[in-house]
Amino acid sequence: MVSASTICPEGLLAGLHLYFRRSVPDESEPDISELGLNDAEMPGIRCPICKWRPLRSSKWMCADSGPPEFFYDACGTEWNTFETRGLCPTCMHQWAWTSCLSCWGWSRHEDWYEDE
């Protein structure tokens, strides 16, 4: 006599989900004051479309781009475009447009700078 029933207590399965809860110990966070130096928001800069603010660690790539930039001789450099006001440090291409790393919309580079 073969019984095909498998032992699968639903109570145990439900209990498993508890192990997937995020358990982030608040006490052992890395020193934020030190991190802040490298990963701070860049003051006065935000996406004109979605208001996303780039971090100092944010990176753009000098990559072939269609509209609106129309640049097809890109060098592949990754850098923070707001540290050079849109100038690629390798091939010296002056990017007139900057894409948002959050909404991927293109805006004129100068439009990213907030008016005082």
Residues that bind Zn ion (CB under 5 A): 47, 49-50, 52, 62, 75, 77, 88, 90-91, 93, 100, 102-103
Question: In the 3-class helix/strand/coil scheme, how is the chain assigned residue by residue?
Answer: CCCCCCCCCHHHHHHHHHHHCCCCCHHHCCCHHHHHHHCCECCCECCCCCCCCCECCCCEECCCECCCCCECCCCCCEECHHHCCCECCCCCCECCEEECCCCCCEEEHHHHECCC
Structure tokens at 75: 């060098």
Q: With respect to Zn ion, which residue has the nearer C-beta, 35 or 101?
A: 101
**Rounded to the nearest whole angstrom, what is the least distance from the CB of residue 4 to Zn ion in the complex?**
56
Q: With respect to Zn ion, which residue has the nearer C-beta, 56 or 79?
A: 79
Q: With respect to Zn ion, which residue has the nearer C-beta, 35 or 91?
A: 91
**Rounded to the nearest whole angstrom, what is the least distance from the CB of residue 36 to Zn ion in the complex?**
23
The SS3 assignment for 48 reads: coil
**Rounded to the nearest whole angstrom, what is the least distance from the CB of residue 14 to Zn ion in the complex?**
41
**Rounded to the nearest whole angstrom, what is the least distance from the CB of residue 40 to Zn ion in the complex?**
19
